[in-house]
Amino acid sequence: YRLGLLSMVEVYHSVDRRQPEVQKWLRRSAWRDYAYWMLRYWEELPERPMRLAYLDLEWSADRAKLEAWKRGQTGLPLVDAGMRELLQTGYLQQNLRHTVGQFLVEVLGISWVEGEAWFHATLADCDAAINAMMWQHQGLTGVSQWLTGVDCHPVRHARKADPDG
């Protein structure tokens, strides 16, 4: 599929689209294709905001906080666990990707570009187009703000994931 050997149109017409798992897969595949389209026409997607009004937005340059985030030493257990998992395994579950990203951008005030570069270097399953698009969204500089409906607050997320913890 990723290599172009399987057509998204062919898949769409050959699967049972009533199944929730299939619907989820088709949505993700559509986002993937959209990300590749964006990267094709915006080659600077990984490092420059698509919304140029945000080009001069001031971000924190606190390297110590960035390194603490990268190493899983922020002091927030869920964020730290996620970042340590990423560092040790090269993988990170999708919701945790949003949570650690929101923490980097909204709590630490560090540019989404730093997160994009770290995930690009660290994720074993990194996809350049999807990574860039997701970090643009995480930084609220991308073409749509669909992530605003996703609750990525680290404390609420931790309570939901582990209510007895």
Residues 81-101 have pLDDT tens digits of 999 999 999 999 988 998 999
Residue 97 C-alpha from the chain's centroid: 5
Between CA 62 and CA 98, with CA 54 as vertex, the angle to 5 degrees is: 65
CA dihedral (95, 126, 68, 109) in degrees, to 10, reads: -70
Tell me what pLDDT residue 165 has: 65
Q: What is the mean pLDDT of residues 131-144?
A: 86
The first and second tokens of residue 99, run together, are 């949570």
pTM to 2 decimals? 0.84
Max Cα distance, the chain (Å): 51
Are residues 46 and 116 in contact, defined by beta-carbon separation less than 8 angstroms? yes
* Distances from the Cα of 24 to the Cα of 56, 77, 111, angstroms: 36, 29, 30
